[in-house]
Amino acid sequence: MSINRLIFQGFGLWRWVGGLGGALLGWCLLFGGWQVWRIVEHNVLRPEDLLSPDFFVLNKTVPMLNLFGAAGVSFTASEIEALKRLPFVQSVAPFEYNRFKAHADFGSELALAAIETDLFFEAVPNEYLDGKAEGWHWQPGDTDLPVIISRDYLALYNFGFAQSRNLPRMSEALLRQLRFSVRISGKGKELELRGRIAGFSQRINTILAPAAFIQWANNEYGEGPGTPARLLVKADAAAGPSLVKYLESKNYQFNAEQLRKARIGAALRLAFTAASGFGLAVLGLAFWVFALSLQLIIAQNQDSLRKLVWLGCHPAVLVRRYLAMMGVAIFVIAATGVLFVCWGNHWLVLWLAGQGYPAESVSLWPPVIGMALLGGLLLGFNYLVVRKQIYRLA
């Protein structure tokens, strides 16, 4: 014990406790932040979603004075090509739309509310459709016309219109049974078809008809195919932030849940990176205080250290004694850090479950291994510094 009394004279307990507290704070911020990010990414952002192809609808911003008509908001072939060439874009499909008059009449079928309205249709290639659409095909001569409507329309009716008018709500199953008359006309001709709702789309906010129908009807009743004003883009959402950046630079509008998620993910990543960076800075400062106070103690006790070496004490023994103190500090910090991360992990998963997210725990090994590595690195660094200082004395 005498040796420790000699070589730890002037040991500033409060300086040490302050350093320990700071290091603990930085440590928990760094590794806690990392683990929280891993849990959030796994359970909320779902990396498998982020990595799966992502569909979103793209259109140009309508200018305040749209003097150019459709041309101002349409995509040119070169613009579409430029989009297709982006590394994170897998494919681009223009929306086709009706260039003939369309009219729907629900009167004969829907006794609850007689609705008659002009209609529009759009079409996209089948591989871009989400959800099931029964009998999704059309060929010239067919009198049945399947359509897919946006699930948002049903929600608007059920929770907006029907609620305010005390009308009964309608289920998707009921609407699938509904038949209505669709009248298309143009070039002095008219055709009546029997419409039915074949499915609902979460992804595409429009009334979709089979592409074959729109192409045929545009030729027969309309003015042929038009220039596309909306595009359906299939992109690698892992590149969400860079994609968003590109789209914003082009002043394109897009409405995509996945892209928002990617943006939220990017913002969250930034927040966690900032928290972890702050943790790293605090940790760095705290360990700097540690290393400095250790060097200060050695400098204060250099006379005793020199005498001990002259008595035959191996300098490595003295290095080990100082390092043991640092080792204990790092162990206390790392052990507390492990407990904190375990507890935080447990708490966060329970909280997410309470919020209705899938609450799967993620492995604790990466932060634990990270702590072991960082602890070892800090100990190794301090060993080199202390060793150099003591060996220089003796």
Partner 1 sequence: MGKNPVRIHLENVEPQPLRGEVANSEVWHRDITISAGQCLLFKAASGKGKTTLLSIIFGLRRDYQGKVTFEDADIRSFGRAEWSRVRQTQLAYVFQDFQLFDELTAWENVTLKNQLTGYRTVGDLKSMFQALGLENKIGEPVARLSRGQKQRVAVIRALCQPFAFLLLDEPFSHLDRETMGQTAALIRSECQKQGAGILLASLEADTPLAGVDIKKL
Distance between CA 222 and CA 101 in Å, rounded?
8
Q: Rank residues 3 and 238 by Cβ distance to partner 1 and give the closer one.
A: 3
Cα distances from 311 to residues 93, 174, 305, 306, 317, in angstroms, run 85, 97, 10, 9, 13
Size of interface with partner 1, in residues (CB under 8 A): 17
CB of 385 to partner 1, least distance (A): 18
Interface with partner 1, residue 388, by CB under 8 A: no
Determine how many CB atoms are found less than 10 A away from the CB of residue 368: 17
Please, which residue, 92 or 297, has the CB nearer to partner 1? 297
Q: What is the spatial order of strands in the sheet that 96-97 belongs to?
A: 96-97, 122-123, 207-208, 144-150, 189-201, 179-186, 101-105, 116-118
Distance CA 60, CA 265 (A): 25
Q: Are 237 and 262 in contact (CB under 8 A)?
A: yes
Under rule CB under 8 A, which residues in 9-48 are in contact with partner 1? 9
Cβ proximity to partner 1, 245 vs 307, nearer residue: 307
* Residue of the chain from 274, 316, 332, 335 that contacts partner 1 (CB under 8 A): 316
Least Cβ distance, residue 292 to partner 1 (angstroms): 24
- Which residue stretch of 95-103, 113-121, 198-206, 305-313 sits at the interface with partner 1 (rule: CB under 8 A)? 305-313
Binding status of residue 393 toward partner 1 by CB under 8 A = no
Give the separation between CA 280 and CA 255, rounded to whole angstroms: 37
> 268 or 309: whose CB is closer to partner 1?
309
**Of positions 127, 165, 310, 365, contacts partner 1 by CB under 8 A:** 310
Between 123 and 390, name the residue whose CB sits nearer to partner 1. 390
392 part of the interface to partner 1, by CB under 8 A: no
Residue 307 touching partner 1 (CB under 8 A)? yes
Q: Any contact of residue 250 with partner 1 (CB under 8 A)?
A: no
287 vs 295: CA distance, rounded Å: 12
Site string for partner 1, 57-96 (x = CB under 8 A): ----------------------------------------
- Find the DSSP H helices in the chain: 2-7, 13-40, 47-51, 70-73, 77-85, 151-156, 162-165, 172-177, 211-221, 240-249, 257-300, 302-310, 315-354, 365-393
From the list 202, 205, 191, 204, the residue with the least C-alpha distance to 144 is 191
Among 18, 241, 315, 370, binds partner 1 (CB under 8 A): 315
Residues at the contact surface with partner 1, assessed by CB under 8 A:
2-3, 5-6, 9, 304, 307, 309-316, 391, 394
